Amino acid sequence: MTIARLSCVLLLLLAWGADRARAEEDGVAVAKKLAAATVTVRAISPESEGGKPAEVTVFSGVSLGGGLIVTYSTAPDSWSYRLTLPDGSQADGLMSVKDLYSSLVILEIRQTDLPGLTLAEELPDAGSTLYTAAAAGIEKPVVSRGILGAVDRKFGGRELPPLLQCDVRTTETSPGAAMVDREGRLLGIIAINSLPGHGDGWTYAVPLRHIKRVREAYTKGEVKTLRQQRPVLGLTLAGTAKDGVEVEAVTAGGPGEKAGVRKGDQVLAVQGQKVRSVYHVVGEVIKHQPGDKVEFTIQQGDVVKNVTLTLARGEPQRPAGLVAKLNERGAYEISPYRAEGATPPSRIPRDPVGMLQEEVKRVYGLLEILKKANERLTGEVEKMRSENAALKREVAELKQGERK
């Protein structure tokens, strides 16, 4: 081996060693951040009248700072939350925000000095390094490192938004744990984990945008339950264009008009994915919620450009519900929730008759939509039958002409 080649090998080895040392330093720093912000959460059911012991579910949670903890929980509203903090002390968690779409929950605790994780600005690309830490009671959290496998992955059998698919080791208490990048910035909250010998080995996390949504919904002294909202583009898309779908109409003041989309434009791609039908556009948009930004590639005349649409809010996909506000006397006052839509927790009186009436209205509304869709399809079938009959007549006339 020549001296030049030997020098190159030594330089590569030194660079590799330096990179590895930096990665280890990054991992140690992230582990410290996670340890300072990770809590153990116990969801506890009410004791039954017959004296049956309460059920307890143990999982993880992570501090956002200011006495707010975000976690993943499907526990009923009647259950209470008891937390073990990093220093071993205990705290009661008051459920302040519950998102029925993502199952993320914001818990409020009295200890406002607990360090919190910073939210990332955006998600990294697939293949990026991730870290997570599972709660372990009074012991230090169990830290694990892996990679981001994919984003916007639907998990079959669960009514959840598109998730992050991660290749990272987990434990039984990992649900609710933070998924962070190499700088310790929060990317997601673990929702579904596969233990050794069970499932496909992947871990799934609720992504960043839903964490931001529940954090922004928090208001001190209020209890909110968020529901899935219908995102609105402010565009009417019809048929297919040469390389995508055509914009048939643009709603005045809607997201499309604000982004500069015009009638007659062609939508070529959404979020970098080429589209061949209206269904491709709809399928990509419904992964998001109002306020999310979605990138469209459009063609205006001879110009192809990228535009960013900020999705508007449509009607809630379920009745809007109520918000419970804590007044000066320490009692809850119930009023309409004008923002995201919420229902009060079980300890607050509900109006079951009114809720049932709203649900009936929603079902009737869906039936009307299905009825109109059926009428439209019936009309299209009749049109196709007429065209088919006309073609048969033309074929018959051609055959008669050939015989003559």
Extended strands (E) in 159-292: 163-167, 178-180, 186-192, 203-207, 222-226, 229-232, 235-238, 245-250, 266-270, 273-274
CA distance linking residue 174 with residue 198, whole number of Å: 15
Q: What is the mean pLDDT of the chain?
A: 79
Q: Which residue type, as a one-letter code, is found at position 355?
A: M
Domain ranges of the chain: 21-218, 229-315, 351-404
Residue 271: band (very low, low, confident or very high) from pLDDT cuts 50, 70, 90: confident
303 touches 274 (CB < 8 A)? no
317 touches 229 (CB < 8 A)? yes
CA distance linking residue 125 with residue 128, whole number of Å: 6
Residue 343: band (very low, low, confident or very high) from pLDDT cuts 50, 70, 90: very low
Check residue 42 and give its pLDDT.
94
pTM: 0.65
**Domain 229-315 part of CATH 2.30.42.10:** yes
Q: What is the pLDDT of residues 222-259, one digit of tens each?
A: 888 888 777 888 888 886 656 788 888 888 888 888 98
Check residue 336 and give its pLDDT.
47
How much of the chain exceeds pLDDT 70, in percent? 74
195 touches 144 (CB < 8 A)? no
Q: What is the pLDDT of residues 34-84, one digit of tens each?
A: 999 999 999 998 875 556 777 899 999 999 999 999 999 988 888 899 999
- Give the β-pairing of 222-226 and 90-99: parallel
144 touches 132 (CB < 8 A)? yes
Check residue 349 and give its pLDDT.
40
Domain 21-218 falls in which CATH fold?
A: Thrombin, subunit H (2.40.10)
From 66, 42, 39, 29, select the one nearest 180 (Cα to Cα).
Answer: 29
Got the DSSP string for 72-130? E----TT-EEEEE-TTS-EEEEEEEEEETTT-EEEEE-S-TTS--PPBPSS---TT-EE
Q: What is the pLDDT of residues 348-375, one digit of tens each?
A: 344 444 555 555 666 666 676 667 667 7
Check residue 72 and give its pLDDT.
95
β-partners of residue 312 are 232
Higher-confidence position of 199 and 89: 89
Distance in Å from the first CA to the final CA of the chain: 91
Check residue 188 and give its pLDDT.
95
Check residue 357 and give its pLDDT.
56
Check residue 365 and give its pLDDT.
62
What tokens were used for 296?
Answer: 């469209």
CA distance linking residue 361 with residue 368, whole number of Å: 11
Higher-confidence position of 328 and 306: 306
Check residue 27 and give its pLDDT.
78
From 167, 151, 172, 178, select the one nearest 58 (Cα to Cα).
Answer: 172
Q: What is the pLDDT of residues 9-30, one digit of tens each?
A: 555 555 545 455 455 567 788 9
Check residue 351 and give its pLDDT.
45
Distance (Å) of CA 381 to CA 6, 264, 313, 370, 386? 76, 28, 34, 16, 9
Check residue 337 and give its pLDDT.
44
Between the ranges 4-8, 38-42, 393-397, where is the mean pLDDT highest?
Answer: 38-42
Q: What is the pLDDT of residues 154-213, one digit of tens each?
A: 766 567 888 999 999 888 999 999 999 999 999 999 998 865 455 567 899 999 989 998
Does the pLDDT value for residue 319 go beyond 50? Answer: no
